[in-house]
Amino acid sequence: LKKSNDQGNFYYDTLQDRYEKARNSAKSFAVPQCGLCTFYWDDDNKKYKAKAFNFYCFPATGSRELNISPYFLCEGKSLEFLIQNGFNFNEWIEKGIPFLRSKEEQEVRERLTKIFDSEIKIDDRNKEFYLDFKAQLDDFLQNSPEKTLIVKAPNRYLKKIIHQQVRKLTNGFVSTESISSDEIRLTKLTEEEKYSYRTKEEKLADEINELIGFRKVIDYLILAKKPIVGHNMLLDICHLVQGFHSDLPHNFTNFQKRITSLFPTVFDTKYIIESTSKLREMFVSSALMDAKKTADNSIKECPDIDLMVIPDDEDVTSKNYESLELCHEAGFDAYITGVLFVKLSAFLEENIDNEKELLSQVTEYEPNKLSIYSNELYKKYKNRIFIMQSDMSYISTIKGKDGKNNNNNNNNNNNNNIIFITIK
Amino acid sequence: LKKSNDQGNFYYDTLQDRYEKARNSAKSFAVPQCGLCTFYWDDDNKKYKAKAFNFYCFPATGSRELNISPYFLCEGKSLEFLIQNGFNFNEWIEKGIPFLRSKEEQEVRERLTKIFDSEIKIDDRNKEFYLDFKAQLDDFLQNSPEKTLIVKAPNRYLKKIIHQQVRKLTNGFVSTESISSDEIRLTKLTEEEKYSYRTKEEKLADEINELIGFRKVIDYLILAKKPIVGHNMLLDICHLVQGFHSDLPHNFTNFQKRITSLFPTVFDTKYIIESTSKLREMFVSSALMDAKKTADNSIKECPDIDLMVIPDDEDVTSKNYESLELCHEAGFDAYITGVLFVKLSAFLEENIDNEKELLSQVTEYEPNKLSIYSNELYKKYKNRIFIMQSDMSYISTIKGKDGKNNNNNNNNNNNNNIIFITIK
């Protein structure tokens, strides 16, 4: 919920300085929405197909017992900016997808285990109460035709003992439910009922699974090892890691290692433009919407891109952004970034690749899949993130900036037909 | 935007500890809404009339030039709680009343003065440009029948010089307006036009006046010196001062001094209940809504209260809460607090005041104005704020807890007919 990261940057900042600023921002502010757009190559029709998604992400809170209490900073101007661009805060808070990082998930689970697994000692004063209760339970199980039994438990401590002892003594075949301030109802369960019955502990565990929410998407993104494309993406990728995966390391070198292991192939379209003299001449501005417009006007020889809309499946709706003139939804920006990447790449493959240079003068353009994995030209863009107003032109996501660490990985990446994924 | 202040309080906290917790909370979190309710005595009809107000307050941001950039913390659960109780975050951000404290207002004004008043030196390189421009201006003023003149100004520095010199040389009788990246239009103004013309600087000053916004209400509240009534109001009053008046002092004694000077008469209905044995017996719970219900059922002999609705004046609408069963709007809570205060006070005046005790057994109840200013019984409640779970029962807003400092003030308070104001 911070508007931009370009305040307080100085020309002579070191990479560590720049990274720290992005890191501090990612640690303090929430990510209210996350845009993703997948691109795959449709070889029959010789075009790309894109699916764009805009996720409202609201930090997991959950039941009181889980004791999850997320805090985050807001910048007044950023809230106003989002509202002006159609962001719906009520919907965000009410219906936003929760998310819980692995670390917090572990902490909550451990807290719950402690609460439920620590056996409560029955002290001498309550021994009589317990023996009396146990006699009732035995009678209920062995002699009673009734399905339920209500027992007295005058305080919370004794209630806890009953919940725990019943579970232990009946191996889950009797459920317990607190029905008033001093009464618990025991219910005999059939095999089937026992299977579907959820104890308080199990219900809370179910809830935690739900609360992981959007993190699952990011986990898949990490597993997929597809090229990740962004535009001016330093802050975006910091937010992605900090918000949904793990605390960003203090040290810039460790940050590079982290990114390399999570996202072995990263492209930044702003860096591609700014670092290529032919493109810098062509593009007056490398701001996302300006760059997209220039690319639309100047780069005609490139594959078509179909934005897919899935109206029948409301749960997984890919967005239709074609009709929108301008929109600041993250999903829209992700889509635009992908279109820009395809156009820039097509231009580079046509014009920079020396072998092709002569041919392209005479043959007619035929749309084809970008050769991200095979073409050498991508090496000088791979894993370099744009940084602005600096005497250094990029941040490498690879330690030592050699850009060669991950060639082995990449060759294994064609396990399905998604070619790359853009983030915002 | 924090849900409650009852986390992390310990029984043996000192008053300084308690105050610091409330202070930290008030410093970090924003107040999204502020509820006020005014009560005045209608002597003709022998009843109280109440006007309730609920203000959405969004920290002032304003134009880029003002460089106001408010930050605040949010707690996820608090946002959810507010949404569930009907709070509209979109409206808050889009239409919330801005507010700017005196300190920040001063800072912005000084910044602007610096920008506009510092005379820009015309260096030697630009002397020729300036002399040429001045000749044009003289000709325009003395010889030209035209009302406007367009002059060239190739960069921002030269533009600034023109804006400043024209204002200085023509004493405001010519307006300047930048119409393109290198042109400025000068326009001759008549006496009348000059009066209504606002320079950039004046427009920004106007904007600052607008941005003060809700602070004006609090300034009036402080000027009015009416009794302020709250329910469990430590955090509320901290937010009121920190958010709309001034940074809360570190030291608890200084906090007492600050409150005494701003709000010389303060009552806390929760403290009134908890500190009075007759009331503690009567009230099972002193939570606001519970207490209101108990008071409705148990205290029948008290003045009626009419909640006024002003449907014709949409700008200053007093809210109609009578029809609502339960509502967590701050304005509603303020109204309920006031009703509770009237009932508690009426009960105390009838039952605790010894002189009346015998009479009240035989005569019929006649509604009358509460004798807040004259009746001795209020002394033991005045300027004492409830603190929960503590071995001390209240926080005094008066240093040394003597509660006598302000009698002189209070006698001068009857300058209009508002008797007290509740806050939430």
Give yes or no for residue A151 having a pLDDT over 70.
Answer: yes
Give the model's pLDDT for residue A29: 86
CA nearest to B62 within chain A: A77
Contact B73 A70 (CB under 8 A): no
**Is residue B60 a contact partner of residue B213, using CB atoms and an 8 Å limit?**
yes
Average pLDDT over residues A373-381: 76
Residues 76-115 of chain A with CB under 8 A from chain B are 76-77, 79-80, 83, 88-90, 92-94
Query: What is the ipTM score, two decimals?
Result: 0.76
**Rounded to a whole number, what is the distance in Å from the CA of B400 to chain A's nearest CA?**
37
Is residue A42 very low, low, confident or very high in pLDDT (cuts 50, 70, 90)?
confident
CA nearest to B63 within chain A: A77
Give yes or no for residue B98 having a pLDDT over 90.
Answer: yes
Reported as a single tens digit per residue, the pLDDT across B47-90 is 888 888 888 999 999 888 888 888 888 899 989 988 888 889 99
Q: Where are the domains of chain B?
A: 15-100+213-423, 116-208
CA–CA gap between residue A151 and residue A390 (Å, rounded): 73
Give the model's pLDDT for residue B51: 86
- According to DSSP, the β-strands at A418-423 and A228-230 are parallel
Chain B CB contacts of A69 under 8 Å are 75-77
A73 in contact with chain B, both atoms CB, cutoff 8 A: yes
Give yes or no for residue A420 having a pLDDT over 50.
Answer: yes
Give the model's pLDDT for residue A210: 92
Is residue A28 very low, low, confident or very high in pLDDT (cuts 50, 70, 90)?
confident
CA–CA gap between residue B12 and residue B326 (Å, rounded): 35
Average pLDDT over residues B211-237: 91
**Is residue B302 a contact partner of residue B351, using CB atoms and an 8 Å limit?**
no
CA nearest to A70 within chain B: B76
From residue B66, alpha-carbon distances to A8, A86, A372, B93, B103 in Å are: 17, 25, 47, 19, 14
Give the model's pLDDT for residue B341: 92
Give yes or no for residue A122 having a pLDDT over 50.
Answer: yes
Chain A CB contacts of B73 under 8 Å are 71-74
Question: Where is mean pLDDT largest: A15-19, A197-201, A216-220, A356-360?
Answer: A216-220
Average pLDDT over residues B380-395: 69
Give yes or no for residue B94 having a pLDDT over 80.
Answer: yes
**Rounded to a whole number, what is the distance in Å from the CA of A29 to chain B's nearest CA?**
9
Give yes or no for residue B234 having a pLDDT over 50.
Answer: yes
Q: Which residue has the higher pLDDT, A18 or A369?
A: A18
Give yes or no for residue A15 having a pLDDT over 70.
Answer: yes
Give the model's pLDDT for residue B311: 47
- pLDDT, chain A, mean: 80
Interface test with A, best of B89, B94, B100 (most A CBs within 10 A): B89
Give yes or no for residue B191 having a pLDDT over 90.
Answer: no
Give the model's pLDDT for residue B398: 62
Give the model's pLDDT for residue B405: 31
Is residue A217 very low, low, confident or very high in pLDDT (cuts 50, 70, 90)?
very high
Chain A CB contacts of B79 under 8 Å are 93
- pLDDT, chain B, mean: 80
Give the model's pLDDT for residue B199: 78
Give the model's pLDDT for residue A180: 85
Give the model's pLDDT for residue A341: 92
Residue type, B3: K
Is residue A405 very low, low, confident or very high in pLDDT (cuts 50, 70, 90)?
very low
Contact A74 B77 (CB under 8 A): no
**Rounded to a whole number, what is the distance in Å from the CA of A332 to chain B's nearest CA?**
21
Chain A CB contacts of B96 under 8 Å are none
Chain B CB contacts of A89 under 8 Å are 89-90, 93
CATH code reported for the domain at B15-100+213-423: 3.30.420.10
Give the model's pLDDT for residue B410: 37
Q: What percent of chain A has pLDDT over 90?
A: 21
Give yes or no for residue A153 having a pLDDT over 90.
Answer: no
A70 in contact with chain B, both atoms CB, cutoff 8 A: yes
Contact A61 B73 (CB under 8 A): no
A116-208, CATH topology level:
Ribosomal Protein S8; Chain: A, domain 1 (3.30.1370)
Is residue A207 very low, low, confident or very high in pLDDT (cuts 50, 70, 90)?
very high
Average pLDDT over residues B220-249: 91
Is residue A316 very low, low, confident or very high in pLDDT (cuts 50, 70, 90)?
very low
B58, B76, B90 ranked by CB distance to A61: nearest: B76
| Nearby residues of A144 by Cβ (< 8 Å), 6 or more positions away | none
Interhelix angle for A15-28 vs A234-244, to 10°? 50
Interface test with A, best of B77, B78, B95, B104 (most A CBs within 10 A): B77
Chain B CB contacts of A61 under 8 Å are 76-77, 80
Average pLDDT over residues B142-151: 89
Q: Which residue has the higher pLDDT, A395 or B199?
A: B199
Place of tokens 């209070």: B410
Give the model's pLDDT for residue B417: 57
CA–CA gap between residue A247 and residue A342 (Å, rounded): 32
Q: Which residue has the higher pLDDT, A190 or A13?
A: A190
Contact A71 B69 (CB under 8 A): no
CA–CA gap between residue B417 and residue A327 (Å, rounded): 53
Is residue A317 very low, low, confident or very high in pLDDT (cuts 50, 70, 90)?
very low
Give the model's pLDDT for residue A50: 87
Give yes or no for residue B28 having a pLDDT over 90.
Answer: no
Give the model's pLDDT for residue B413: 39
Contact A93 B89 (CB under 8 A): yes
Q: Which residue has the higher pLDDT, A375 or B45?
A: B45
Give the model's pLDDT for residue A314: 47
Give yes or no for residue B310 having a pLDDT over 50.
Answer: yes
Element (DSSP H or E) covering residue A347: helix A330-351
Written as six digits, the tokens of B116 are 């506009």
**Is residue A5 a contact partner of residue A21, using CB atoms and an 8 Å limit?**
yes
Contact B74 A73 (CB under 8 A): yes
Query: Computed over its alpha carbons, how large is the radius of gyration of chain B?
Result: 28
Is residue A5 very low, low, confident or very high in pLDDT (cuts 50, 70, 90)?
very low
Average pLDDT over residues B313-323: 51
Is residue B353 very low, low, confident or very high in pLDDT (cuts 50, 70, 90)?
low
Average pLDDT over residues A152-174: 85
CA–CA gap between residue A206 and residue A112 (Å, rounded): 12
Give the model's pLDDT for residue A391: 54
Reported as a single tens digit per residue, the pLDDT across A49-108 is 888 888 899 999 988 888 888 888 889 998 998 888 888 999 999 999 999 999 999 999
Give the model's pLDDT for residue A168: 83
Is residue B316 very low, low, confident or very high in pLDDT (cuts 50, 70, 90)?
very low
Chain A CB contacts of B89 under 8 Å are 89-90, 92-93
Give the model's pLDDT for residue B407: 35
Is residue B111 very low, low, confident or very high in pLDDT (cuts 50, 70, 90)?
confident
Chain B CB contacts of A6 under 8 Å are none
Reported as a single tens digit per residue, the pLDDT across A378-404 is 778 888 877 765 555 566 666 554 333
